[in-house]
Structure 1
Amino acid sequence: MARGGQGLARVAVVVRAGAAPLWWCGVFAAGVGVLPAGLTGRRIGVLAGAALFLVAAAVVALYGRRRYTALAGGAARAGKHDVLQDRAVTVRAWRRGHRWWLLLAFVAALGSSFAVPATAGMLLAGCGTGLRLKAAWLGRRERAANALLWVRVDWLGRYGGRPAGKAVKAYRSTGVAAGDAAPGGARRRTETYV
């Protein structure tokens, strides 16, 4: 980065990056996990899984909102020498950094189905849903403030994904037309912002 510029990744994109892998791992694990009757039986497993899905989605969606709000409130304007990371690069970095954790969680969810069918898979899917809800909440904040939130890439940690972790000191902001991701971290539709 020339002249003191920093590499910046979108906060909402980092949050949203884990939503799809967790959701699909969870759905697949729950689908396969419903096949064995398990120790508790399918009905109890599915009901427990549904409850865990709702709890996980709520906890993940709400966890850390105060920290995100504080960092967003103190966001400084990004400098002209800062480099905005593409959405695809941010997502790829997160998924690469977490691939072994995702695989381990998937295997554990499948293995636990022999005790309580589908429960752990639905828990994973709930975590993915919670991340999607948190990214949507960030998107609403970005639209209301008319500014996108960015975090320094070197503060994201070894695995590329702690946008509100202890290492993060502050966010930076840009206008809503910056970068290739819309508010909330979704792919930008070319007709939305001109």
Structure 2
Amino acid sequence: MASGGQGLARVAVVVRAGAVPLWWLGVFAAGIGLLVPGVTGRRIGVMAGAALFLVTVAVALLPRRKRYVALADGAARAGKHDVLQDRAVTVRNWRRGHRWWLLLAFVAALGSAFAVPAAGGMLLAGAGVGLRLKAAWLGRLERGSDALLWVRVDWLDRGAGAPAGKRVKGYRATGIAAGDAAPGGARRRGGVLV
């Protein structure tokens, strides 16, 4: 890396990185959980799971919005020596940093099926949906300011930390065409923003 440059990861990609594994682990855990009658029975388990799903979506989506907006408003322009991390690298770092938490959450969701069928899995799936919606909200924020938001990699814990956590002092901004991820953290397809 050139002198004075920093490794930068896309904020929306870091947020979005957990959405897919949480969704699929939740779906599998809920599906397997339906095979177990549980203490409460399947009907109550699914109703409790639906409530947990909605609450978890809100809990994943709504917190720290003001902090994200404040960091975005104060974003400094990225320097010419800054290195923009590829989307795939950011996603891989997040998933590696959280693999044991994901495994524990999946096992806990499966274990909870013996008490409340499907509820634990639906909670995990709700977290995935909430993170996906938060990434989409960040995408709208990026489109509105016509700039992509980046966070220094060294401010993320081993590349897997929270992009609006206490260690994050500010964001960097680039033009909307920088990097290999569209606003909101999705892959760019055929050079067109999606």
TM-score range, shorter chain: over 0.9
Letter in 1 for 2:144: A
Q: Which residue is 1:15 aligned to?
A: 15
Q: Distance in 2 between matches of 1:12 and 1:43?
A: 37
Q: Distance in 2 between matches of 1:6 and 1:160?
A: 16
Q: Secondary structure at the match of 1:2?
A: coil
TM-score (structure 1 length as normaliser): 0.98
- Is the 2:93–2:158 contact (alpha carbons within 8 Å) kept by the matching residues of 1? no
- Is the 2:71–2:170 contact (alpha carbons within 8 Å) kept by the matching residues of 1? yes
- Is the 2:34–2:118 contact (alpha carbons within 8 Å) kept by the matching residues of 1? yes
What runs of 5+ residues in structure 2 fail to find an aligned partner? none
Q: Which residue is 2:127 aligned to?
A: 127
What runs of 5+ residues in structure 1 fail to find an aligned partner? none
How many matched pairs? Answer: 193
Equivalent positions of 1:177-188 (< 5 A) are 177-188=177-188
CA displacement 1:93-141 (0-9 Å, x = unmatched): 0000100100000000000100000001000000000000000000001
Q: Distance in 2 between matches of 1:93 and 1:36?
A: 35
Q: Distance in 1 between matches of 2:161 and 2:24?
A: 19
Q: Distance in 2 between matches of 1:145 and 1:62?
A: 20
Q: By how many angstroms is 1:159 displaced?
A: 5.7
Q: Which residue is 2:172 aligned to?
A: 172
Q: What is the percentage of aligned positions where both structures have the same residue?
A: 79
TM-score (structure 2 length as normaliser): 0.98
Q: Secondary structure at the match of 1:158?
A: helix
Matched, 1:157 2:121: no
The runs of at least 4 aligned residues of structure 1 exceeding 2 Å deviation read none
Q: Distance in 1 between matches of 2:166 and 2:89?
A: 23
Equivalent positions of 1:56-95 (< 5 A) are 56-95=56-95
Q: By how many angstroms is 1:183 displaced?
A: 0.2
Letter in 2 for 1:94: W
